[in-house]
A and B are shown apart, each in its own frame.
Chain A
Amino acid sequence: MEHNEINPQPRGGEPGVSSGDPLEADSLSAARARGEFLDFVDLHYHRLVGLLMWSGAERQDAEDAVQEALLQGWRAVLSGRWSTIGNPAGWIRRVVWNTYRRPPGQKRTQPPIAHGSELPDRPSPGSDHAGLTDEALLVLHTLRRLPDELRLIMALTIDGATDTETAQLLNLTPQKVRDLRKSARTVLRRSLAPYLHRKEDVR
């Protein structure tokens, strides 16, 4: 492979051949960490926004919170702390969660403007929900009618969080999580049934 002096480390890939120079090794390690984090952002960005939306957040608020949390992650990468985080997916979910649920009045760090760049992402045209399927709209609507605790547990369940992760985030025991999820699912089974029934009738 041809050596690229400007960008010696392909994003998320293995480091190039080291000359043994400690400074170069540090540089390659930092480049690798950045590449891995960018892959992490690609993988998790939309899921995290979705998690907050299932939890009841409006899309813009969800995106703001996710961006702020990922910016914290990037700072951890730059300071070398990112590699010490054992479960990055769990960590970022917790940071996103804390960012979104920060009580009103506490200062939220706003990401700086990259001068001359497009900031932030383009707004959703019209309704945030235009383009969603009936199922997604119905589930969003139904979840928002659930009590907070049940809704949050279902949001995390949809996102694929384990009982232990959910319990840690919500300061509950895993057994309590299972009990509450059972209640939430019962409510959803009944709330969503008429819709599915109508859909079956149409067919």
Chain B
Amino acid sequence: MTSPENPSWDAVGELADDQLDSVLNAARDSLLGHLKDTSGPSSLLARFWAVDKTPPHSADAATDSPAGTARPIIAARMRQPMLEHALHLANALDRALRHARHQAHALATARRLERSGVLTHAQALALDLTHALGRAEALAHTLARAHEITTAHGLDHSHPLDMDLALAHVHALDLADALGIDLTSELDVDLTHAYALAHALARDLASWKENTVQPHPHTQQTVDARGIDLSDMKIEDTSVLARVVWSDTTIWPRGTYFFIRARSRRLRPGEYQVHTAGGPTAGEEPNTDTMS
């Protein structure tokens, strides 16, 4: 099977048997290692004990569930992408204002020396400030929505992080006001103030993310929403429901039941779990194979 020129290959580029075995063994070891690193039978063991104790499925089982945790966790998931977006905006704003300051310095220099580039610099600066203002308004809007979720869904207002969120919203509004800069005014002072605000916002949001998102990977958590009334939650993206266990007695917002049902698998009679990812999208038929 091997050629005289290259003992590893025959004339048509075919692997030798030992090479194939080597590739297959390496692939097997890689997959096994990957599986061991990313999953395990620990949750299965919990089910073993459940079978051993043969707990009867009672109608009131849902009432024993940690009802106080499902809503805050789902709400926290709902605002997480907003805060990610806010952080992105704050960083972009930070960069935009830094650039605007350079333009302002160039403009001031051009004015002082009465150079012909005054108009060009002024236009570039005006464009930068317009972009920065748009981002600041979007940031304020995003933070307002995240704050609304805190208000609407019973997250803990008194938590320092949520107070920081409220403060960040106020700062973003201040920043939007500060960016209404008149190009004939004291540009340096105004821009320095705006830049300081944007920088503080970016820093605060990064810190917020570090303190909330990283230690609490809510999306990897199984959430027990059996028997809970979630009818007042504005669920626009079902990914926030990943791994939520629910029951026939869970009350969903109007118009969402069939979509959520289609993205869930049946665990046992009357109980379901929302898929972690993928699954049918809106408008598709439920997968009856996994439900029956």
Contact = CB atoms under 8 A, between A and B. Distances in A.
Give chain A's interface secondary structure class. Answer: helix
A118 B64 contact: no
B51 A112 contact: yes
A71 B222 CA distance: 20
Contact of B27 (A42, A46, A138, A189): A138
A67 B30 contact: no
Given A78-B51, A107-B292, A112-B51, A121 B43 contact: yes
B47 A118 contact: no
B57 interface: yes
B43 A105 contact: no
A38 interface: yes
**Interface bracket on A:** 35 or more
Interface string B48-90: 1111100101000100111000000000000000000000000
B39 A121 contact: yes
A72 B83 CA distance: 45
Contact of B30 (A63, A132, A192): A132
Interface in A66-85: 67, 70-71, 74-75, 78
Interface string A138-176: 111000000000000000001000000000000000000
Given A104-B289, A107-B292, A118-B46, A140 B268 contact: no
Given A119-B222, A120-B43, A78 B52 contact: yes
* Residue among A42, A50, A63, A75 with max Cβ neighbours from chain B (10 Å): A50
A6 interface: no
Interface residues of B, number: 61
A53 interface: yes
* Residue among A67, A70, A78, A123 with max Cβ neighbours from chain B (10 Å): A123
A139 B47 contact: no
B8 A200 contact: yes
B15 A196 contact: yes
Interface string B24-35: 101110111011
Contacts of A121: 39-40, 42-44
A71 B8 contact: no
B41 A118 contact: no
Nearest to B52: A78
A139 B51 contact: no
A193 B9 contact: yes
Contacts of B28: 50, 54, 136, 158
A70 B12 contact: no
B31 A53 contact: yes
Nearest to A139: B27
A114 B47 contact: yes
Contact of B13 (A60, A125, A194): A194
Nearest to B44: A67
B40 A132 contact: no
B119 interface: no
A124 B38 contact: yes
Given A110-B268, A136-B34, A124 B19 contact: no
Interface of A: 38, 41-42, 45-47, 49-50, 53-54, 60, 63, 67, 70-71, 74-75, 78, 104-105, 107-108, 110-125, 129, 131-133, 135-136, 138-140, 158, 185, 188-190, 192-194, 196-197, 200
Interface of B: 8-9, 12-17, 19-20, 23-24, 26-28, 30-32, 34-52, 55, 57, 61, 64-66, 220-222, 224, 242-243, 245, 265-268, 271, 273, 276-277, 289-290, 292
